[in-house]
Chains A and B, each alone.
Chain A
Amino acid sequence: MRETKRFDRRQFLGALTWGIGALISAGLGIPAVAYVIGPALQRKEAQDWIRIGSTTKVELGTPTLFKARVTRRAGWIENEEELSAYVRTDNGRDFIAMSNICTHLGCRVRWVSGEQKFFCPCHNGVFDKDGNVLAGPPPRALDRFEIKVEDEQLFILGG
């Protein structure tokens, strides 16, 4: 009874071929996945204190828009980008800085002093002077920047 021979030469070589094929595929496949998703996993670069202007420009009680230029790296390209923040103070000593990017889908909000509210032009989102949502689709208040004052100059933490 020669039938009992379980694993002959032919089967062995077949299995070996599949095995080596699987090894090579994994050897290329795993680096390939890392290669494709790699840049997406990189954490944002360290944040830095950015000088945005003088405290004297902020009127008491009125959110004032400040703009600063920052350089951002995207892939192999360095871009000059504008960073904007609304700064508000009620007493000239304590400041808050709010992002002007709507928390709904990212349009720029605008302070309308007649109404004392922020309005978003895209889907009628409305925020109060502290950035809290009053109406419309935005899911949360305007984002805040950390802010500090040194020698009458305002700095926000960003990058």
Chain B
Amino acid sequence: MAARVSEWLDERLGWRKVWEAIFLRKVPKTNWYYTLGSAALFLAVNQIVTGILLTIYYVPTPDHAYDSVQFITGQVPAGWLIRGLHHWGASAMVILVGLHMLRVIVHGSYKYPREVTWFTGVFLLLAVIGFGFTGYLLPWDQKAFWATIVGTRIAAVTPLIGDWILRVMRGGDELSAVTLARFFGVHVWVLPAALLSLILVHLYLVIRIGISALPKRGE
């Protein structure tokens, strides 16, 4: 039965070719460090699923943000688990993406013909850091508030346009309801859209070009 359904679908969708291209492609001899990208991908999925779940209760306004987060961790069944996974997943993601980047450097995998894969990777790193920065404000507790005061001040030391950057980030001179709302918007709309498009291109290139073989001594 299952075989007939998949046959019927394959005739119309051609999904088997896609499956083979992704999962049954030939790869050179690799080592465990080659799994770091997939580990980052796994965490990205975790962040998306738990993040969507958090928005079911979270409200991004100064009068509700803190209370709604307390409600999630204290009252909602498994709320502590969902928030915990998202919270720790965020840190783990930065670490894994960093390690993945190191492996690409150490193996020299950024060289021709994989420069564009590297460039999309650089933007992926920026997106992951952006997630961390905007997400940190959302619980709207003291730590969140002061960390964002500091973070936006750091941006303000940029020569010439620093003050302007600070005002754009905060949506005004002070950290306010406007700041919280725009950080939320960037965190749940702008960055996920960017991350997903970048991952798509990144993985397309990984599959199209094929992953690099381990470099040999003297190469």
Residues of A that sit less than 8 Å from B by CB: 28, 31-32, 34-36, 38-39, 75-77
With A75-B57, A76-B64: A32-B78 Cβ-Cβ less than 8 Å:
yes
Alpha-carbon distance between A39 and B70 when the two chains are bound, in angstroms: 14
Interface residue? B82 (CB, 8 A): yes
Q: Are B68 and A36 in contact (CB under 8 A)?
A: no
Alpha-carbon distance between A31 and B75 when the two chains are bound, in angstroms: 14
Taking the closest CB of chain B, its distance from the CB of A19, in whole angstroms, is 16
Contact partner of A75 (CB less than 8 A), chosen from B46, B71, B77, is B71
Residues of the B chain whose Cβ atoms lie less than 8 Å from the Cβ of A28: 46, 49-50, 85
Interface residue? B67 (CB, 8 A): yes
Residues of the B chain whose Cβ atoms lie less than 8 Å from the Cβ of A35: 53, 56, 76-79, 81-82
Taking the closest CB of chain A, its distance from the CB of B27, in whole angstroms, is 14
Nearest CB in chain B to that of A38: its residue? B77
Alpha-carbon distance between A88 and B101 when the two chains are bound, in angstroms: 77
Q: Are A39 and B76 in contact (CB under 8 A)?
A: yes
Taking the closest CB of chain B, its distance from the CB of A41, in whole angstroms, is 8
**In the complex, given contacts A36-B53, A76-B71, what are 7 additional A-B residue pairs having Cβ atoms less than 8 angstroms apart?**
A28-B49, A31-B77, A32-B53, A35-B78, A35-B82, A75-B71, A76-B67
Alpha-carbon distance between A28 and B57 when the two chains are bound, in angstroms: 18
Residues of the A chain whose Cβ atoms lie less than 8 Å from the Cβ of B64: 76-77
Residues of the B chain whose Cβ atoms lie less than 8 Å from the Cβ of A31: 77-78, 81-82
- Number of residue pairs spanning A and B whose beta carbons lie under 8 angstroms apart: 42
Contact partner of B82 (CB less than 8 A), chosen from A32, A76, A77, is A32
With A35-B79, A38-B76, A39-B75: A75-B49 Cβ-Cβ less than 8 Å:
no
Q: Are A75 and B68 in contact (CB under 8 A)?
A: yes
Taking the closest CB of chain A, its distance from the CB of B49, in whole angstroms, is 6
Nearest CB in chain B to that of A75: its residue? B71
Report B27-61 residues with CB < 8 Å from chain A CB. Answer: 46, 49-50, 53, 56-57
Residues of the A chain whose Cβ atoms lie less than 8 Å from the Cβ of B85: 28
Residues of the A chain whose Cβ atoms lie less than 8 Å from the Cβ of B57: 75
Nearest CB in chain A to that of B57: its residue? A75
Alpha-carbon distance between A77 and B82 when the two chains are bound, in angstroms: 21
Nearest CB in chain A to that of B59: its residue? A76
- Per-position contact with A for B140-176: 1 when CB-CB < 8 Å, else 0? 0000000000000000000000000000000000000
Nearest CB in chain A to that of B71: its residue? A76
Name 18 A/B residue pairs within 8 A (Cβ), A-sorted: A31-B77, A31-B78, A31-B82, A32-B49, A32-B53, A32-B78, A32-B82, A34-B77, A34-B78, A35-B53, A35-B76, A36-B53, A39-B75, A75-B57, A75-B71, A75-B75, A76-B70, A77-B67
- Per-position contact with A for B4-18: 1 when CB-CB < 8 Å, else 0? 000000000000000
Alpha-carbon distance between A34 and B77 when the two chains are bound, in angstroms: 6
Alpha-carbon distance between A38 and B57 when the two chains are bound, in angstroms: 12
Alpha-carbon distance between A77 and B70 when the two chains are bound, in angstroms: 12
Q: Which 5 A-B pairs have the closest CB atoms?
A: A31-B78, A38-B77, A76-B67, A76-B71, A34-B77
Taking the closest CB of chain B, its distance from the CB of A147, in whole angstroms, is 32
Residues of the B chain whose Cβ atoms lie less than 8 Å from the Cβ of A75: 57, 68, 71, 75
Q: Are B79 and A76 in contact (CB under 8 A)?
A: no
Taking the closest CB of chain A, its distance from the CB of B80, in whole angstroms, is 10
Q: Are B77 and A76 in contact (CB under 8 A)?
A: no
Residues of the B chain whose Cβ atoms lie less than 8 Å from the Cβ of A76: 64, 67-68, 70-71, 75
Taking the closest CB of chain B, its distance from the CB of A9, in whole angstroms, is 15
